[in-house]
Structure 1
Amino acid sequence: MDDLATQADRKPRTERGRKTLRKLLDAAAVEFADHGFHEASISGITRRAGVALGTFYTYYDSKDAIFRALVRDMSEAVGTAARDAIEPDMGPLAVERAALQAFLEFAAEHKEVYRIIDEAEFVDPVSYRAHYERIGDRIEQRLKAGASTDGLRADLGEPEAWAVMGMNVFLGLRYAIWAQDGDPDPATVAKIANRLLREGIAGSKPD
């Protein structure tokens, strides 16, 4: 049985178990953010979570296993933040604006997400790639849905979705992780990015 199947079998079936799992993941986020993967320890995670060392092994086999679970958990949290910000009656450009603003606010509140996801490139490249593929897929689906309502071009696909994702990731790095006094707030940054999507950057029509 592979690792993912093994972890799925350990999914808690009680509310108490789900709360314990949540404590472990939240503690792991702080431990990995503070120390990096290689210096972080299982004992550090359990100490932060306030649980016994043996409890850890009820849910995870190793530090690698909880790191992979944490990357996926963070990826899902990013997606949830965007989905929760989208209203059913929004047009496609308004959807992208709301999703970006929600991501910027999420990243500002959970700055550890950048360090952990970036470290996954070297610790667990499969999880790293899967994280961005999930986000790219979500954006592509939104763009195609926007095209079906005549709000966006009909030929939008994966390249455009990854271009939007790249813009969003680096705006988050600059205005959430590297935020400075006097920076525009998330709503303003999202508005500026949305104008770029709507109007492009050309100052005049090409010849």
Structure 2
Amino acid sequence: MNDRPADAEAPQSEVARTPRTARGRKTLRALLDAAAEEFGAKGFHATGITDITRRAGVALGSFYTYFPSKEDIFRALVTDMSAQVREAVGPHVKAAPGALEGEREALAAFLRFVSRQQLIYRIIDEAEFVAPDAYAEHYRSTAARIAERLQAGAARGELREDVGEAEAWAIVGMNVFLGLRYGVWEKDADLDGIIDRANRLLADGLRRRDGD
């Protein structure tokens, strides 16, 4: 049993590792889920490691098997949430018949995700100050995936040939704030109507027209 104080940092040699066993993966998942609840409800500074381990049902010493510090689990949580968004959206985009339909399905899947995981906004926003590297990577990787989709659509002749990074970042901003407005602040919104209107906005700006 590790009796290190709850918020003390472990030696740097104690590096978090990907669990090799099902039990280890279950413990890691429990820690990340508990961290999401604790950080999301109270914020980074008001949350202690013991709060996380207590909620996860994990011994304090076991925490340091996976994370050297509270900062490290917060950073890992941001990365994990980014992966959850990617996994929630990706299959719907792949199943869409075209580029514009793919962006519609991406927004729909994202709104469904944030309606279930509303704490993501507080955690990601706080990451700007607590884990700025993970914060930046979250948005950069999201924009890069969208840019890749747009460029693939352009290569197929569905979208304007000049679409790329700037348009991808614009879509990131639109999706983030639509998620905040209609996935978090208002739970009874007509999501299909909102998604259709957003997709029309994209279509008017992105679709290839004769002469382009």
Question: Would you say same fold, with TM above 0.5?
Answer: yes
Is 1:145 the counterpart of 2:152? The answer is yes
Provide, for residues 114-163 of structure 1, a one-character-per-residue CA deviation record: whole Å limited to 9, x for no partner.
Answer: 00000001111111111100100010000001111111011111101000
Shift of 1:67: 0.2
Structure 2 residue ranges without an equivalent (≥5) = 1-11, 206-212
Post-superposition offset of 1:199: 2.0
Residue 191 of structure 1: which of 189, 196, 203 is its match? 196
Note the alpha carbon deviations across 1:56-95, whole angstroms, 9 max, x for none: 0110011000000000000111111110212445100000
SS of 1:127 mapped into structure 2: helix
Following superposition of structure 1 onto structure 2, how do residues 162-177 of structure 1 map, counting pairs within 5 Å? 162-177=169-184
Give the structure 2 partner of residue 50 of structure 1: 57
Q: Is the 8 A contact 1:23 1:49 kept in 2?
A: yes
Aligned to 1:113: 120
- Indicate the residue corresponding to 1:156 in structure 2: 163
Q: Distance in 2 between matches of 1:6 and 1:50?
A: 22
**Does residue 52 of structure 2 align to residue 14 of structure 1?**
no
Identify unmatched segments of 5+ residues in structure 1: 201-207
Whole-Å separation in 2 of the counterparts to 1:89 and 1:61: 42
Contact between 1:24 and 1:46, CA under 8 Å: does it hold in 2?
A: yes
* Kept in 2: contact 1:27–1:45 (CA 8 A): yes
Deviation (angstroms), 1:164: 0.8
Counterpart amino acid of 1:80? E
Equivalent residue, structure 2, for 1:203: none
What count of residue pairs does the alignment treat as equivalent? 193
Indicate the SS of the match to 2:45.
helix
SS at match of 1:86: helix
Separation in 1 of the partners of 2:149 and 2:32? 29
Between structures 1 and 2, the one with greater helix share: 1
1:101, 1:189 within 8 Å by CA — same for their partners in 2? no
Q: Is the partner of 2:161 in helix, strand or coil?
A: coil
Identical-residue share of aligned pairs (%): 56
**Structure 2 CA distance for partners of 1:68 and 1:103, relative to 1, 3 Å:** same
Inter-partner Cα distance in structure 2 for 1:6 and 1:147: 43
Residue 80 of structure 1, aligned match among 87, 95, 115: 87
Counterpart amino acid of residue 67 in structure 1 = F
Query: Normalization by structure 2: what TM-score?
Result: 0.87
> Post-superposition shift, 1:190?
1.6
Find the aligned partners of 1:63 and 1:136 in 2 and give their Cα distance: 28
Cα distance, 1:192 vs structure 2:
1.2
Residue 68 of structure 2 aligns to a residue whose secondary structure is coil
For the aligned residues, what is the CA RMSD?
A: 1.4
Further displaced range: 45-54 or 172-181: 172-181
- Correspondent of 1:133 among 131, 136, 140: 140
Which stretch of structure 1 is more off in the superposition, 79-88 or 115-124?
A: 79-88
Task: Give the Cα–Cα distance (whole angstroms) in 2 for the partners of residues 189 and 82 of structure 1.
Answer: 17
Normalising by structure 1, we get a TM-score of 0.90
Distance (Å, rounded) in 2 between the aligned partners of 1:84 and 1:179:
26
- 8 Å Cα contact 1:12/1:18 also seen in 2: yes
